[in-house]
Amino acid sequence: MDVKNLLSTIQANKRLQAIIVGLYIVVTFASLYLAQKSVIAFLLLLASLLLLYFTSFSNRVKWLVGGLVLVVLLPLAASQGEAYQSYMEVATLVGIYIAMALGLNIVVGLAGLLDLGFVAFFALGSYTYGIFATSQANNFMPFGHYPLSGESFWVFIFIGCLVAALFGVLLGIPVLRVKGDYLAIVTLGFGEIIRIIFNNLDKPVNITNGAMGLASVKPPELFGIQFMYPSQFYYIVLIILIAVIFAVRRLEYSKIGRAWKAVRENEIAAQAMGIHLVRTKLMAFAVGASFSGMMGVVFAAKQTFVDPTSFTLVESITILVMVILGGMGSVPGVILGAAIVTILNLQVLTELTNWLNQLSLSGVIHVPDALSPAKMQRFIFGIILILFALYRPQGLLPAKNPVFDEKDLKDTDSNHPMNTGVHKGGTQHVHLDS
Amino acid sequence: MSILTVKNLTKQFGGLVANSNINMEVQQGSITAVIGPNGAGKTTFFNMVTGVYQPTSGEILLNNESIVGLKPHQVTKKGIARTFQNIRLFGAITVLENVMVGMHNHLQGGLFSTILNLPRVKKEEKEARREAYRLLEYVGLESFFNEEARNLPYGAQRKLEIARALATKPKVLLLDEPAAGMNPKETNELTKLIYNMREELDLTIILIEHDMKLVMEISEHIVVLDHGEKIAEGTPDEIRNNEKVIEAYLGKGAAATAS
């Protein structure tokens, strides 16, 4: 019970929290700064954001400290050695996946529409930029000269967003006639169709270059600076991600978010409340897809290569796993879920494999290649999903409802301009994690 | 003046005639009860009025304007709200938010104004929260405002359905068995609430109810359905002594003894 006492003391004492979090950040920062090869130090520094999430500081403070860690400390600490770009690569991909998982969370978590083909929107964003930022567009565009310059990238973020949203609506119109399991099957089909179309659209007119993919996509350019390294893309992703988090947060507790949840909870009652069912669902599809579209553009520019194999069903499932693991409908949960799954995939499993390889090379133990952790990704996801379905169906950080302040609701207190609104139990704990 | 007029309303599900040639007029500001044995077609009737089902034939006029063919959300916009026999709350969100969902059509906030968190959206949301709280106070649920709706006791859930329906600012309120599962004390409170709503909120109320004490106490007009057909209508006193009604409820023998 001592642990419990300790926890409650910490919970009650903000100064103590500040010391702990500060100390933690300093220590992990220093260890990453000094021990460049330590993946663990990198992960621990990232975990400071999780710690920050559980403190009882105001939202503003959390955002500021979280921003400091992400904008300054993390890149600075990682930049001292050869592994810099690979750390930033991981951080960038985590950011991309978080944005996508947040998009899927709107569709699945808030509106309750199971979408198994979500990666299609990511693919649409990638190809939108990929086609016009390579010479590919010359094959079918009657006017203009391609590739477009790297400066067009910034416009393409919005174009990718719009294209994905448009396809979200186009997909939604026929698909929303079906519900539940049927919807899942139809969206799964849609995801595969998009991938196969991209795979085969090299004849009669060569639009996507088929299975060969689009190579040497133009890197983004701003004021003459080319963005080529993950450490640069990291900041692009960070900015988009923060915008996405703000958007999701605001929508979640708005009229639109309530309509999504109402549709999820009970369609008939939602309609009886005057909610336009189709429009509400389409909006969920469009908004969710648009995040993916934006990140698709960034992904294409970062990889400088786009081909259909990046957009398979497994990708869709992985994003869904992030949402379920983190907690459906919970923004902090989904952020955490996406971070864990991505890091597990990209770093932990690869590191484990490397380590085991070294061990078997030095002859300590012999692990057959078939059992290498990097190949067990799906197996591990399967186990995670089963365990969560059994023991924690609401996810790591379950969704929270807003907690309203009674004083604010009573008319008599309306002359207190200081009471500015709800204390949202959920929003107090906004945290960044990328 | 009649606010809701139903003419020759018929609904068939395949060979089953759920409602057959129903005619009725509901007076503005009245409390009308629709009664009848189980399976008489009462809820089907409600579902047609609210646009959940489309009638096979017949007319439904709200203020002399046809509402047949409208989708449920459009009917709600026209000013008809309802509660459900099998409670259909939004279980996982808070009581206050449930009521706020009812205000959907009275809030202007769009996608972009919400994302940008414009001052007018903030103001509107704040007003909406207050209004929702007032409605909760009105039905006596203000102490539950932060609870998840599914955790409310049964009687409170029924009241929340009413508060949520009121939030749509209806002219006509349809209550589908509002007193089902309530104990006598709760039923008494509900009776008062229904009566007050009519008086204070300028509502026309139509209710389906099996609790005859409640029905006889507050309704001015009663329509009796049996096997999808209207078998009687009139004041509570007329209905109480109507042979066809007694027969429908208790069987032929009972009607003979009563007369």
Q: What is the 3-state secondary structure (H, E, C) of chain A?
A: CHHHHHHHHHHHCHHHHHHHHHHHHHHHHHHHHHCCCCHHHHHHHHHHHHHHHHCCCCHHHHHHHHHHHHHHHHHHHHCCCCCHHHHHHHHHHHHHHHHHHHHHHHHHHHCCCCCCCCHHHHHHHHHHHHHHCCHHHHHCCCCCCCCCCCCHHHHHHHHHHHHHHHHHHHHHHHHCCCCHHHHHHHHHHHHHHHHHHHHHCCCCCCCCCHHHCEECCCCCEECCEECCCHHHHHHHHHHHHHHHHHHHHHHHCCHHHHHHHHHHHCHHHHHHCCCCHHHHHHHHHHHHHHHHHHHHHHHHHHHCEECHHHHCHHHHHHHHHHHHHHCCCCHHHHHHHHHHHHHHHHHHHHHHHHHHHHHHHCCCCCCCHHHCHHHHHHHHHHHHHHHHHHHCCCCCCCCCCCECCHHHHCHHHCCCCCCCCCECCCHHHCCCCC
**Chain A residues with CB-CB distance to B122 below 8 A:** 421
Task: Examine the domain organization and report whether A7 and A144 are in the same domain.
Answer: no
Task: Examine the domain organization and report whether A94 and A121 are in the same domain.
Answer: yes
Which pLDDT score, from 0 to 100, does residue A259 have?
94
Which pLDDT score, from 0 to 100, does residue A35 have?
74
Task: Examine the domain organization and report whether A107 and A60 are in the same domain.
Answer: no
Q: Do B101 and A262 touch (CB under 8 A)?
A: yes
Residue among B76, B129, B145 whose CB faces A274 most closely: B76
Dihedral Cα A377, A380, A386, A392, nearest 10 deg: -110
Task: Examine the domain organization and report whether B76 and B191 are in the same domain.
Answer: yes
Task: Examine the domain organization and report whether B134 and B251 are in the same domain.
Answer: no
Q: Is B24 left (phi over 0), alpha (psi -120 to 50) or beta?
A: beta
Q: Which domain holds residue A200?
A: 84-399
Q: Do A262 and B84 touch (CB under 8 A)?
A: no
CA distance A200 to chain B (A): 36
CA distance A327 to chain B (A): 14
Residue among A266, A404, A414 whose CB faces B96 most closely: A404
Residue A310: C-alpha distances to residues A123, A126, A306, A345 (Å): 8, 10, 8, 15
Measured from the Cβ of residue A361, the count of other Cβ atoms closer than 10 Å reads 9
Q: Do A274 and B105 touch (CB under 8 A)?
A: yes
Assess if residue B162 is contained within a domain: no
Tokens 């199971």 sit at which residue?
Answer: A114
Which residues in B67-171 belong to E strands, given as ranges? 80-82
Beta strand pairing status for B204-208 and B31-35? parallel
Task: Examine the domain organization and report whether A423 and A394 are in the same domain.
Answer: no
Q: Do A268 and B102 touch (CB under 8 A)?
A: no
Q: Is B61 left (phi over 0), alpha (psi -120 to 50) or beta?
A: beta
Q: Do A254 and B121 touch (CB under 8 A)?
A: yes
The tokens for A376 are 């067990």
Establish whether the linkage from the previous residue to A147 is cis, with ω within 30° of 0.
yes
Task: Examine the domain organization and report whether B59 and B175 are in the same domain.
Answer: yes
Q: Do A273 and B146 touch (CB under 8 A)?
A: no
Whichever domain contains B239, its CATH number is: 3.40.50.300
Which pLDDT score, from 0 to 100, does residue A179 have?
81
Residue among B88, B94, B125 whose CB faces A401 most closely: B94
| Confidence band, pLDDT 50/70/90 cuts, at residue A422 | very low
Assess if residue B182 is contained within a domain: yes
Measure CA of the first residue to CA of the last residue in chain A; give whole Å. 34
Strand partners for A215: A305
Which pLDDT score, from 0 to 100, does residue B254 have?
66
Measured from the Cβ of residue A384, the count of other Cβ atoms closer than 10 Å reads 17
Which pLDDT score, from 0 to 100, does residue A418 have?
40
Residue among A254, A255, A272 whose CB faces B72 most closely: A272
pLDDT for residue A421 is more than 60: no
Site from B50, B101, B142 to mutate, A interface, most A CB atoms within 10 angstroms? B101
Q: What is the mean pLDDT of residues A317-322?
A: 89
pLDDT digits (tens, 9 = 90+) for A362-376: 877 777 777 777 777
Task: Examine the domain organization and report whether B19 and B58 are in the same domain.
Answer: yes
pLDDT for residue A168 is more than 50: yes
Measured over the CA atoms of residue A14, residue A16, residue A21 and residue A26, the dihedral's sign is positive
Cβ–Cβ under 8 Å, residues B83 and B102: no
Which has more confidence, A229 or A128? A128
Task: Examine the domain organization and report whether A424 and A387 are in the same domain.
Answer: no
Task: Examine the domain organization and report whether B178 and B64 are in the same domain.
Answer: yes
Q: Do B130 and A287 touch (CB under 8 A)?
A: no
B40-66 as b/e: b if 16+ CB within 10 A: bbbbbbbbbbbbbbebeebebbbeeee
Task: Examine the domain organization and report whether B179 and B249 are in the same domain.
Answer: yes
Domain count, chain B: 2
Tell me what percent of the residues of chain A surpass a pLDDT of 70.
94
DSSP summary character for residue B201: H
φ and ψ of B14, to 5 deg: 60, -125
The tokens for B200 are 């204070």
A422 in B contact zone (CB under 8 Å)? yes
Task: Examine the domain organization and report whether B82 and B183 are in the same domain.
Answer: yes
Task: Examine the domain organization and report whether A378 and A420 are in the same domain.
Answer: no
pLDDT digits (tens, 9 = 90+) for A42-54: 788 888 888 878 8
Task: Examine the domain organization and report whether A37 and A108 are in the same domain.
Answer: no
Site from A409, A418, A424, A430 to mutate, B interface, most B CB atoms within 10 angstroms? A409
Measured over the CA atoms of residue A187, residue A192, residue A198 and residue A204, the dihedral's sign is negative
Task: Examine the domain organization and report whether A336 and A199 are in the same domain.
Answer: yes
Which pLDDT score, from 0 to 100, does residue A140 have?
75
Assess if residue B157 is contained within a domain: no
Task: Examine the domain organization and report whether B103 and B214 are in the same domain.
Answer: no
Domain count, chain A: 2
CA angle B20, B23, B28 (to 5 degrees): 140
Give SS3 for B86.
Answer: coil
Q: How many angstroms separate the most distant Cα atoms in chain B?
A: 72
Which pLDDT score, from 0 to 100, does residue A1 have?
57
Which pLDDT score, from 0 to 100, does residue A411 have?
66
pLDDT for residue A349 is more than 50: yes
Tokens 């565009």 sit at which residue?
Answer: A141
Task: Examine the domain organization and report whether A370 and A425 are in the same domain.
Answer: no
**Chain A residues with CB-CB distance to B134 below 8 A:** 411
The tokens for B15 are 């060979």
Whichever domain contains A212, its CATH number is: 1.10.3470
pLDDT digits (tens, 9 = 90+) for A275-313: 999 999 999 999 999 999 999 999 998 888 888 888 888
Which pLDDT score, from 0 to 100, does residue A412 have?
56
**Chain B residues with CB-CB distance to A277 below 8 A:** 73
Residue among A265, A270, A414 whose CB faces B92 most closely: A265
φ and ψ of B31, to 5 deg: -110, 115
DSSP summary character for residue B149: G
Q: Which helix (H) or strand (E) holds B186?
A: helix B184-201
User: What mean pLDDT value characterizes chain A?
Assistant: 82
Task: Examine the domain organization and report whether B253 and B178 are in the same domain.
Answer: yes
Which pLDDT score, from 0 to 100, does residue A85 have?
80
Task: Examine the domain organization and report whether A353 and A410 are in the same domain.
Answer: no
Q: Which domain holds residue B125?
A: 90-151
| Residue among A145, A264, A157, A13 at smallest CA distance from B90 | A264
Give SS3 for B159.
Answer: helix
Task: Examine the domain organization and report whether B67 and B113 are in the same domain.
Answer: no
A407 in B contact zone (CB under 8 Å)? no
Beta strand pairing status for B229-234 and B31-35? unpaired
Task: Examine the domain organization and report whether B66 and B113 are in the same domain.
Answer: no
Task: Examine the domain organization and report whether B118 and B71 are in the same domain.
Answer: no
Which pLDDT score, from 0 to 100, does residue A181 have?
84
Which pLDDT score, from 0 to 100, does residue A226 have?
80
Pairwise CA distance, residues A283 & A260, whole Å: 9
Q: Which amino acid is at A226?
A: Q
Task: Examine the domain organization and report whether A387 and A409 are in the same domain.
Answer: no
Assess if residue B158 is contained within a domain: no
Chain-centre distance for alpha carbon B169: 13
Q: Do B129 and A271 touch (CB under 8 A)?
A: no
From first to last of its 259 residues, chain B has per-residue pLDDT tens of 788 999 999 999 888 888 888 899 999 989 999 998 888 888 999 999 999 999 999 999 998 899 998 999 999 999 999 999 889 999 899 999 999 999 988 888 888 888 888 888 888 888 899 999 999 999 888 899 888 999 999 888 999 999 999 999 999 999 999 988 888 888 999 999 998 888 888 899 999 988 888 888 889 999 998 888 888 888 988 888 888 888 888 777 666 665 5
Task: Examine the domain organization and report whether A56 and A160 are in the same domain.
Answer: no
